[in-house]
């Protein structure tokens, strides 16, 4: 008769991965730390894994998907704001001038996000995002943004959960933007999605309470903000952390300092044909110091072009 | 043969409760919303319950337990701070002058908490709290503070989890103080404990990263702060919310506005003999407007003296 151990060997938990070092490292780690007889065994309660989102679970080129949402919001709201026609960064958005828009820098992007995401209740914002996702299309791929998730990473999330890991998103992106539509795609519930956020205000509203979104950042969940938010919200150090840029380096360093054996994973964008190729010089998802430390400390680096059989689920 | 429905009827899920309205209401609610054939059925992912801690899951008299911890810390640190001898609120602590201490008001208490809880890493703070709990004794009950949890509420937490509810603590108390020692007592993991918090800072510390606790509040998880934090951290409106004071009223109002059928529960301190009796006039755990709204809107109110067979686990 077939034993359960045999079935584990027969069923490949990561079928969209080639038989490469990154895949072997992941399976070796999970097998080790979930083995009760191993000195590296990790109790279920401490199996915390944290995943960056943009460029790590889905694509982030030619700009963060949330920026396309913000641009569409600005266009939808333009009639109510005649002053935007002559004011950056709104002017660039209304003129579809991506080059000028990206020249506005971080402050310009922040202004755009804050102005287009605030001034409404959390429920109203959720509905707006969900309506947007139904029709918006990626500018070059021509499919919905929610289709551009990485099939191999979906398999990794499933594999970790099957081994009693909790899977969290810890992203620089807006927490409420993600919560509105990624829960079913990733199999990650709202309470395990962590991200940047606006300040909010509670209004009793005559017995119909609302959480109102204010036009001011409350927390930027990037760089040092990631371990800070992980400590605030989860209260445990991850044993598995995955990202694709220098913005994830503090999170990976934090995981690397775990007393338990831990796993640090970088996604390296090497596939100019099927996805995009960028790293040390990129304005989006710059991976430079992180790559150096990964190579120095023996962290696992996914070579997207070589390691993944398919990138997106629709290619299966 | 015995059917599973029969077993449910035989095994009383709340054995430390008398057969009273509060108990009947709780069981009727849980039975209804977990019944797939009920129009009030709530999917598992949305079964979020939130519990205040002080005065709701454990006692809070003659002062919040965390205040006794802060006082003991001030005494332990007094040699390093000779200026405290003549400076309030520290002077009152060092002179064991509770009356003067409580006259320092919220600002005095905050100063005490901030000064005694900051200036160290999260790990160091956790160890200090855990060491304190091992030896500290409640001033009148004479037992460890961790023994003064409410047995009937422990049963309620178990009962909800057995019915696939997530149980969260949402407390005005310090999140790291609670996380250090209540997880096993309540069966609630660190990531489901929400509370007030200090600002923190990430230090790379030459490869041994630390989250450092700063002497400034980051968030006060009380009153309107409770629904705000619930939205930030959980991202879902509770279907079951439980508290004991006006500080919980916004959280209960927030739950009451859920599109799902929801349950609002107040613990009313009516037992001067076995615990303490206080409500509308109390400086700690004042329950006034909340009690009015509970009575007006038909929320469930636990009459501690009448409803609970025992208060603490050691009385069983
Ligand atoms: Ca990223
Ligand atoms: Ca309370």
pLDDT, tens digit, 9 for 90 and up, residues B127-167: 999 999 999 999 999 999 999 999 999 999 999 999 999 99
Contact at CB, B234 and A197, closer than 8 angstroms: no
Residue of B nearest to A121 (CA): B231
Is ipTM over 0.90?
yes
Contacts of residue B186, defined as CB under 8 A and 6 or more positions apart, other chains included, come to B57, B149, B154, B157, B167, B169
Question: If pLDDT is split at 50, 70 and 90, which confidence band does A107 have?
Answer: confident
Residue of B nearest to A176 (CA): B235
Query: What does the pLDDT read at residue A9?
Result: 56
**Chain B residues with CB-CB distance to A299 below 8 A:** none
Contacts of residue A131, defined as CB under 8 A and 6 or more positions apart, other chains included, come to none
Q: Which fold has domain B4-62+148-206+220-315?
A: Rossmann fold (3.40.50)
Residue of B nearest to A202 (CA): B224
Task: Give me B294's structure tokens.
Answer: 């509970």
Cα B32 to Cα A139: distance, rounded to the nearest angstrom: 48
**Chain B residues with CB-CB distance to A211 below 8 A:** 227-228, 231
Question: If pLDDT is split at 50, 70 and 90, which confidence band does A109 have?
Answer: confident
Query: What does the pLDDT read at residue B155?
Result: 98
| A and B: number of Cβ contacts within 8 A | 85
Cα A150 to Cα A56: distance, rounded to the nearest angstrom: 8
How does the average pLDDT of chain A come out, rounded?
95
- Assigned CATH for A16-60+148-196+216-315: 3.40.50.1000
Contact B168, B194 (CB under 8 A): yes
Give the Å distance between the CA of A75 and the centre of ligand 1: 26
Using CB atoms, which residue from B208, B209, B227 is nearest to A227? Answer: B209
Give the Å distance between the CA of A100 and the centre of ligand 2: 53
Contacts of residue A122, defined as CB under 8 A and 6 or more positions apart, other chains included, come to A176, A200, A210, A211, A212, A213, B231
Does residue A18 carry a pLDDT above 60? yes
Does residue A8 carry a pLDDT above 70? no
Does residue A226 carry a pLDDT above 70? yes
Question: If pLDDT is split at 50, 70 and 90, which confidence band does B102 have?
Answer: confident
Helix (H) or strand (E) holding A295: helix A289-297
Does residue A259 carry a pLDDT above 90? yes
Residue of B nearest to A226 (CA): B202
Contact at CB, A233 and B235, closer than 8 angstroms: no
Query: What does the pLDDT read at residue A73?
Result: 96
User: Rounded to a whole number, what is the distance in Å from the CA of A117 to chain B's nearest CA?
Assistant: 15
Chain A: which residues have CB within 8 Å of chain B? 45, 48, 122, 166, 175-176, 179, 189-191, 193, 197, 200-202, 204, 207-209, 211, 218, 224, 227-228, 231-236, 250, 253-254, 256-257
Does residue A281 carry a pLDDT above 80? yes
Dihedral, B75, B78, B84, B89 alpha carbons, nearest 10:
-20
Give the Å distance between the CA of A287 and the centre of ligand 1: 9
Query: What does the pLDDT read at residue B6?
Result: 55
How does the average pLDDT of chain B come out, rounded?
95
Residue spans per domain, chain B = 4-62+148-206+220-315, 65-135
Q: Which ligand is nearest to the CA of B172?
A: 2
Contact at CB, A228 and B211, closer than 8 angstroms: yes
Task: Give me A55's structure tokens.
Answer: 């460029």
> What average pLDDT does this structure show over B37-57?
98
Provide the 10 A C-beta neighbour count for residue B65.
22
Using CB atoms, which residue from A166, A197, A232 is nearest to B197? Answer: A232
Contacts of residue B241, defined as CB under 8 A and 6 or more positions apart, other chains included, come to B49, B50, B51, B248, B251, B252, B254, B255, B262, B263, B264, B265
Question: If pLDDT is split at 50, 70 and 90, which confidence band does B54 have?
Answer: very high
């Amino acid at each position: 008769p077939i034993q359960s151990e045999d079935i584990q060997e027969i069923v490949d938990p990561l079928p969209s991965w080639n038989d490469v070092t990154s895949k072997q490292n992941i399976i070796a780690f999970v097998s080790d730390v979930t083995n009760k007889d191993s000195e590296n065994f990790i109790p279920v309660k401490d199996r915390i894994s944290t995943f960056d989102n943009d460029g790590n679970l889905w694509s982030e080129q030619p700009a963060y998907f949330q920026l396309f949402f913000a641009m569409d919001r600005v266009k939808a709201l333009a009639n109510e704001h005649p002053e935007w026609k002559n004011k950056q960064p709104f002017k660039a958005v209304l003129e579809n001038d991506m080059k000028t828009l990206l020249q506005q820098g971080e402050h310009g992007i922040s202004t755009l996000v804050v102005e287009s995401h605030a001034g409404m209740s959390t429920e109203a914002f959720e509905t707006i995002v969900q309506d947007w996702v139904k029709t918006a299309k990626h500018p070059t791929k021509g499919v919905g943004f929610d289709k551009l998730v990485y099939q191999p990473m979906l398999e990794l999330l499933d594999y970790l959960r099957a081994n009693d890991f909790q899977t969290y998103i810890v992203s620089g992106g807006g927490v409420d933007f993600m919560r509105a539509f990624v829960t079913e795609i990733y199999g990650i519930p709202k309470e395990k999605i962590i991200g940047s956020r606006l300040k909010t205000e509670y209004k009793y509203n005559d017995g119909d309470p609302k959480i109102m979104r204010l036009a001011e950042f409350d927390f930027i969940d990037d760089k040092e903000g990631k371990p800070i938010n992980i400590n605030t919200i989860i209260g445990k150090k991850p044993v598995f952390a995955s990202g694709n840029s220098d913005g994830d380096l503090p999170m990976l360093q934090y995981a690397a300092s775990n007393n338990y054996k831990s796993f640090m994973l970088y996604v390296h964008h090497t596939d100019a044909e099927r996805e995009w190729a960028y790293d040390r010089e990129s304005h989006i998802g710059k991976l430079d110091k992180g790559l150096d430390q990964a190579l120095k400390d023996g962290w696992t680096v996914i070579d997207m072009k070589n390691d993944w059989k398919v990138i997106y689920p629709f290619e299966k």
